[in-house]
Amino acid sequence: IFRPLRVRLEQVLVSQHEPVTLYKLTNLLKFYESTIKQLLPNECQLVQVLDEVSNLSSKMFLNTLNANATRLIEKVDMPTPDLNLSDELRRTLALLKDILDTHSTSMIPFESKRIDFQQIVYSIIDPLLQMCALSAAKLGVVEMAVYMINCISAIRTTLAVFAFTDEKIEMLEGQIEANTDALIGEQASYILLRTDLLDAYRLIEKHQENQGALSYKPGMDMITLKAAMNKFDSYLSTPDMFTMPQIKYLASAVIREKIKKRSVELVCEAYATLYSAIIDQKNLYSNPYSIVPRTPEQIVKLLS
46 pLDDT band (50/70/90 cuts)?
confident
Give the pLDDT confidence of 147-183 residue by residue, as tens digits: 999 999 999 999 998 888 889 999 999 999 999 999 9
What's the rounded mean pLDDT across residues 92-117?
85
**Mean per-residue pLDDT over the chain, rounded:** 91
pLDDT exceeds cutoff 70 at 5: no
Residues 131 and 193 in one domain: no
Q: What is the pTM of this model?
A: 0.88
Torsion, Cα 221 222 227 233, to 10 degrees, reads 130
- Sequence length of the chain is 304
Q: Please, what's the b/e burial string for 79-118 (b: 16 or more CB within 10 A of its CB; e: otherwise)?
A: beeebbbbebbeebbebbbbbbebbeebebeeebbeebbe
Inform me whether the pLDDT recorded for 32 exceeds 90: no
The reported pLDDT for the residue numbered 132 is 96
- DSSP structure string for 249-290: G-S-HHHHHHHHHHHHHHHHHHHHHHHHHHH-GGG--SSHHH
For 215-242, letters b (16+ CB in 10 Å) and e give: beeeebeeeebeebbeebeebbeebeeb
Tell me how far apart the alpha carbons of residues 31 and 272 are, in angstroms, rounded to a whole number. Answer: 66
Give domain status of residue 171, yes or no.
Answer: no
Q: Is 173 domain-assigned? A: no
Task: Note whether 175 and 152 are within 8 A (CB).
Answer: yes
CA 274 to mean position of chain CA atoms: 34
Say how far residue 203 (Cα) sits from the centre of its chain. Answer: 33
- Residue that wins the pLDDT comparison between 117 and 298: 298
pLDDT 10s digits, 260-275: 999 999 999 999 999 9
Tally the domains of the chain: 2
Which residues constitute the domain of residue 256? 186-303
Per-residue pLDDT reduced to its tens digit, 202-231: 999 999 888 999 999 999 999 999 999 999
* pLDDT, position 164: 86
Check residue 209 and give its pLDDT.
Answer: 83
| Same domain, yes or no: 156 and 28 | yes
In a domain, residue 178? The reply is no
Q: Is the pLDDT of residue 2 over 70?
A: no
48 and 160 in a common domain: yes
Contact 57, 26 (CB under 8 A): yes
Q: Is residue 180 part of a domain?
A: no
pLDDT at 16 over 80: no
